[in-house]
Amino acid sequence: MTSMPVAGIRAGAPAQPADLVLRNAKIFTGDPKRPAAAALAVRNGSVTVIGGDREVAPLVGSQTRVIDALGHRVVPGLNDSHNHVVRGGLHFVLELRWDGVRTLRGWRWCGSRPRGGELTWAAADFENFAQPRPELGPYEPEFEKAVRLLTESGWGFRWHATYDETVRRDLAVFEKLAAEGLFPGGNRWLFDQVELVSEQSLDRIAALGGAIGVQNRLAYQGTTFRDRYGFQAAAVAPPLGAIRSRGLNVAAGTDATRVSTCNPWVALYWLVSGCDVAGVPLRPRHNRMDRAEALASYTTGGARLTGERQRTGRAADGHRPLDTFDPCFS
């Protein structure tokens, strides 16, 4: 959308003019204290004022770009909390195009191999819902070493786990370290995927200060999952209602390019509708998100994981809500 003259807003000579003024919009701010607004002003990439024409008009200078949104919806920049950018680059010509992606921010480690190799790799229960659940061999000793390294180094981490059997084994290691005062040690950590996590495991995750990352792979594999594990399991995969009731931070992402494209709108559709991409309903209403919750999981949810909730994820004073893209480094 290009800038244009806007009736009623004239350029003045403010001491600190805005670089950008957006007005006549339906702005979803992500701020519970002020969930909606009609206009905002941006200077040096950060929101300085949010409200209406009366609040932003005094910040319009001769070089300010003024955009009339013509009543369209505006949301903070979507923050993909789980994205395999290295893998995507290796498969660039086959799977991924970076066209239009202007910034990459918020690099961090996935639960992969920080040191020692087949460290931790043995603990991964990678998902192919057309096949039975994998039976994992003993991995706890090497897994414990890896988690100790991460916590002692002050690194946050995320761990992939699909099945509750795996989650319970991982939690036992975390709880052992917590009893020694080593976990979480002030570090941010989360489980990814967890389609089949139990409510008991969610209680244990909450007690250890963890978070949950959800990705929309069941938008593509939902009916395969249902055919293997049944309608009841598919209705709570993942158990968004139970996660929400425990106050766990939920960060949404695509897991691109491993199981999905990096198109966030497919993931948002899946979160809100409870349907797969073919429109097949899988999850009942209590186990979906409304649109505000889904947007929060794609904005403030990721910002909490990276410790940036005070400066990104919302259209609020001092925040940088535009042009965000937050990949997982793997």
More confident residue, 89 or 73: 73
Q: Which residues does residue 159 pair with via DSSP β-bridges, in sequence order?
A: 191
Are 49 and 194 contained in the same domain? no
Are 211 and 233 contained in the same domain? yes
**What pLDDT score was predicted for residue 11?**
66
Residue 9 lies in a domain: no
Residue 13 lies in a domain: no
Q: Which of 305, 308, 301 is nearest to 30 (CA)?
A: 301
Are 62 and 158 contained in the same domain? no
DSSP 3-52: ----TT------SS--SEEEES-EEE---TTS-EESEEEEETTEEEEEE-
CA-CA distance, 189 to 169, in Å (whole number)? 16
Contact 74, 28 (CB under 8 A): yes
Are 207 and 113 contained in the same domain? yes
Tally the domains of the chain: 2
| Tokens (6 digits) for 65 | 């770009």
Are 189 and 297 contained in the same domain? yes
Are 39 and 179 contained in the same domain? no
Tell me the range of 47-61, 99-113, 312-326 where mean pLDDT is highest. Answer: 47-61
Residue 274 lies in a domain: yes
Percent pLDDT > 90 in the chain is: 54
Question: Which sign does the torsion angle of CA 261, 265, 270, 271 carry?
Answer: positive
In 3-state terms, the chain is what percent helix, strand and coil (to 5)?
A: 35, 20, 50
With the CA atoms of 225, 286, 272 and 318 taken in that order, what torsion angle do they form, in degrees rounded to the nearest 10?
Answer: -120
Query: Which domain does 26 fall in, by range?
Result: 20-74
Contact 47, 40 (CB under 8 A): yes
Report which residue type is found at 256: A
For residue range 177-209, what is the model confidence (pLDDT) as tens digits?
999 999 998 888 999 999 999 999 999 999 999
Report which residue type is found at 142: E
For residue range 93-137, what is the model confidence (pLDDT) as tens digits?
665 555 556 665 544 444 444 444 456 567 778 778 988 888 889
- Select from 49, 74, 99 the last residue of a domain: 74
Are 41 and 133 contained in the same domain? no
Residue 130 lies in a domain: yes
Residue 40 lies in a domain: yes
Are 42 and 101 contained in the same domain? no
Are 89 and 61 contained in the same domain? no
For residue 313, pLDDT over 90 is answered with no
Phi, psi of 233 (to 5 degrees): -65, -40
Are 42 and 181 contained in the same domain? no
**What pLDDT score was predicted for residue 115?**
43
Residue 247 lies in a domain: yes
- Select from 35, 50, 74 the last residue of a domain: 74
Average pLDDT, integer, range 267-294: 95
Contact 50, 34 (CB under 8 A): yes
CA-CA distance, 116 to 107, in Å (whole number)? 21
Residue 283 lies in a domain: yes
What CATH number does residue 31 fall under? 2.30.40.10
285-288: long-range contacts at Cβ-Cβ below 8 A with a sequence spacing of 24 or more? Answer: 286/241, 287/235, 287/236, 287/239, 287/240, 287/241, 288/240
- Select from 52, 74, 96 the last residue of a domain: 74
Contact 324, 80 (CB under 8 A): no
For residue range 5-50, what is the model confidence (pLDDT) as tens digits?
555 566 667 788 999 999 999 999 888 888 899 999 999 888 899 9
In this structure, the chain runs to a length of 330
Are 107 and 237 contained in the same domain? yes
| Tokens (6 digits) for 78 | 């979507």
Are 55 and 180 contained in the same domain? no
Residue 278 lies in a domain: yes
**What pLDDT score was predicted for residue 251?**
94
What CATH number does residue 181 fall under? 3.20.20.140
